[in-house]
Structure formats: structure tokens, C-alpha cells
Structure 1
């Protein structure tokens, strides 16, 4: 589906110069002289390159719809991650760097969403929030107010997060996967 250059929004997937790009940021500019344009920051979903492109309102670009499919994470093998199609039980291996920092939050049996372009997996979406256990937390410093001060803690997957002072080692918490932030104490 073709869209005008000024209709591009963050999160759109575009086909541009024979590649598939995800829009990270957009800035609409209307200079005093000349036509308006959209400054677009994009990341290539195949090779990870980033670029900035200026699209005028007369420019059109192909907006791509990705197919999504439910998969289950089975295990890691070196720098490869093995996933299973929930419907066909077919297994595929993907490089861990396809997930970026979120790969640390993968858990055995976790259900994920694979985004496919022409049957080729290009991104993996984990659940927004996961449960994790605090394995190491700094002691509370006397006199700190509970409302504004957070302390560093290490999760069972090795990721460092900031937690409220009352959270201790061994506590099960809910963490935002993409922000790497404490959400709440687990039930």
C-alpha cells in the first residue's frame, strides 16, 4: 500500500531502496520557503543499518504489512535461539541478536510473536512484562525516602534493574522487558 511521505508514522514498516525499514522517529518540518517534508529516522530490519531520509509530501513510499505467527521459545544453542511453530510444531533457529537486549528475558516455553516478511522472520516480540527473581539487591540506606529513591538489583537472568528500597533478594517481581524497569511485586 502506497502512502504519502508526510503520512509516515513511527512504527510503520516501509519498503525503501530494496530493503525493509522500521520507522523509529519522524519530524514534520514546514520551512518558510519551499514545501513541507517529513524527516524520518529508520532502521533496516534485515541488516540493522540506520538511516535518516527526507520525504516530501509528493513522495510516495510502500507501506508493508508483516505477517505474524505464534511461536514458542524452546532453548538457546550457542548464539542461536530455537523456536517452535505452535500450530505445525516445526522448529526454526534464529540469531540471538535479532532480539537485541530483550533476549535476556526469554524463558523456556515462553510464547512469542514472530513477524515475517515474505515467509522470512525479521523480528521477535516478547510479552511486554515478565516475572523474574531478584538474586542480588543493595541494602537500604537509612534516611532515604521510599517515594523517590530506587536501588540497583540484579535479576536471575543477569539483567540490572532499579527497584524500590523494600524489595529484597529472593523477591519475585514483574519487569517491563523493553524498558528494563520494575513494574510491581509479583503475586
Structure 2
């Protein structure tokens, strides 16, 4: 059980039987009266953002969340299929639940799926993934300006900017949190 003094950004709590994550938090102590905790909360099932104010001493249930290791199998129209690596059960997430993670999903990639009870509600990718460059403009040596980058397309269809020496067929590491190029993979 959490109290209002435990509230902080990123904390996951249960309100009215649904999981919420605190995305913004502000503490204020007026001259008279109790301290107030203003929170911006995001419903983890629907994505709806609400503003709530709590007083000191209010209590909250921790959200009943569980992360399970899963392996990405395939996508079909607006559904993404994952397999539990221990039980081999298959779970489907829709495109809204997957969100921008679709840009980095490759066959057999191990991810963490977030469950609320028995219902899958979200996905956590590894911090870095290695993807093959499928389309890149050619680059001539000496044809650069300091800090120059060029757009490339990787095997998932995601487009990002990379240094000019990256060519088609190269494997690159991408930070899934920012979507940015990290390094070229040496094979």
C-alpha cells in the first residue's frame, strides 16, 4: 500500500481497478491546511491522461503488474504475436499497445510484455537492437561536412539518420529509447 508521500514520477498505482502510471508530479504546501500532491496520470490500458489532486495521508494500491519474457514471432495486419519463452503460450498485442516498438521488432527478438492480471497491456524492448540497413544513399569520400548525416531505412521499415559511411547491407545498433543510431556492428 502506498501513501501520498510515496508518489513520484514513474510509479504505477491502481485506481478504480485500472493501472495508472504517474507521468508528472507536483508537491505543494499551502500556508494553511494539508499538503497537496498534483499528479498527471496515464491509464496504462486505454492511454487516457487524467489530472488528479491528492491530500497527504491518501493511500493507493500498487498496480498488479507483471513483466514476462516473450519472443516476437510475427505481425499480421494490426496484430503482433509473441510467445512466452517458458510456457510457449502465444499472446497478441494490437498496434496501439505495441506503439513505436514496431519500428524495432525483428523475428525472435526477446522483449518484456507487461501484464495487468492476465491481460497484456504493453511492451518493453531491450535498450539496443541490431538491424540491417536495407536502403542507403551512396556516399563519396570527401563529400561531407563535419557532423553530416544521411537517412537510411532498416529492415523493419524504420527511417533514421546515420553517419555518411553507413552503406546498404551494414548492420547497425539503434537505441530503442530514442530511435537514434549508436554504432556500426563489426562482424
TM-score band (shorter)? 0.7 to 0.9
Secondary structure of the residue aligned to 1:99 is helix
Residue 172 in 1 paired to residue 171 in 2?
A: yes
Once the two structures are superposed, what CA deviation does each residue of 1:60-98 show, in whole Å capped at 9, x if it has no partner? 222224222111111112211111111121222221221
CA RMSD of aligned residues (A): 2.2
Q: 1:144 to 1:69 in 2, by over 3 A?
A: same
Q: Normalised by the size of structure 1, how large is the TM-score?
A: 0.85
Secondary structure of the residue aligned to 1:46 is coil
Q: Normalised by the size of structure 2, how large is the TM-score?
A: 0.85
- Number of matched pairs: 184
Contact residue 163 and residue 182 of structure 1 kept, 8 A: yes
- In the TM superposition, what is the alpha-carbon distance from 1:153 to its structure 2 partner? 2.8
Take 2:29 and 2:171, find their aligned partners in 1: how far apart are those partners? 50
In the other structure, the counterpart of 2:52 is: 53
Once the two structures are superposed, what CA deviation does each residue of 1:147-187 show, in whole Å capped at 9, x if it has no partner? xx443332222222222333333322100112111111112
Take 2:126 and 2:108, find their aligned partners in 1: how far apart are those partners? 12
Contact residue 128 and residue 177 of structure 1 kept, 8 A: yes
Secondary structure of the residue aligned to 2:166 is coil
5+ residue gaps, structure 2, are none
In the other structure, the counterpart of 2:95 is: 96
- In the TM superposition, what is the alpha-carbon distance from 1:7 to its structure 2 partner? 2.0
Once the two structures are superposed, what CA deviation does each residue of 1:115-173 show, in whole Å capped at 9, x if it has no partner? 21212211111111111123334566946213xx4433322222222223333333221
Contact residue 6 and residue 37 of structure 1 kept, 8 A: no
Residue 153 in 1 paired to residue 152 in 2?
A: yes
In the other structure, the counterpart of 2:124 is: 125
Contact residue 10 and residue 23 of structure 1 kept, 8 A: yes
- In the TM superposition, what is the alpha-carbon distance from 1:34 to its structure 2 partner? 4.3
Deviates more, 1:131-140 or 1:10-19: 131-140
5+ residue gaps, structure 1, are none
Take 2:31 and 2:169, find their aligned partners in 1: how far apart are those partners? 60
In the other structure, the counterpart of 1:144 is: 145
Take 2:156 and 2:137, find their aligned partners in 1: how far apart are those partners? 17
